[in-house]
Structure 1
């Protein structure tokens, strides 16, 4: 279980942060050792012991073994990424990555399933990577692409500008529909929806 948690934090960091019980589950992995050592030291000090310490220790061990298997309780975690001077808060379910946690960021990416733009952790459908950037080529700039979408046999990548930002979608040709242009506004609207706007005074 410890190895599973460690691997999960590396490959699915957002899912780890999205579990309210995660710190408690990780602590529970070491709790049996603490209980056993405590009961042993108590036995060395006050032997023979009555049945009560053993019963309490057994209950604590059972709870500690069950706790890591508890289902996820949504923590409501949102990853904050910056594009230039514009902050964005992205729910963990979208698996946000490659963004900057400080002002001056150039781009960030999330995973969704088309056509409904469901986040990665709320769908079993194949996902595509969509992103928002300050310029083309993930914010690095360069020449404006001649074609909005570049496709080969297996993959497709699209980039387009709307207003001050550039939006993108990439993934397998099977996951990206041929008529991606009809989804461009909804993709941009979704990503714009993560912007943190200052409340009006």
Structure 2
């Protein structure tokens, strides 16, 4: 059975998701797993986990592009190991790679390495650009959104609202809520 997996990073990429779905159905996929989540947030990629659980011996997981599946060579090899352990294969449509063959496995590993190398080079250039901008006094970094809402965080906490709900209401991370509450508690204890 051909099992398709499609992913986009944001809800704004509806056309990209529709294109992937069209290509996967065109390739003959009988079952599709589709999600809109960042590749970095592996824990949130529930559909990928479900697809890997669903796959049986003789099946092939099909994706349109490598970057829709894995965030790094290590993650790619982990997915590939899971598939191989189940007696399944991986096919990447835009590369013409099929891991049911030894050549396909080799090509996938090499192409994954090149993709990761390109990403590292891009991140290095980004870091250099930020350092240059900081040296020139032009880079301020990301605005500290949670710190700007410290008063609201403390107020809601004193009203008995829990950390998760505070984060949700204010549009910030739970860790930021707890960090600010901890800092406020330390200041109060020191006073």
> Which structure has more helix as a fraction of its residues?
2
> Which structure has more strand as a fraction of its residues?
1
TM-score by length of 2: 0.25
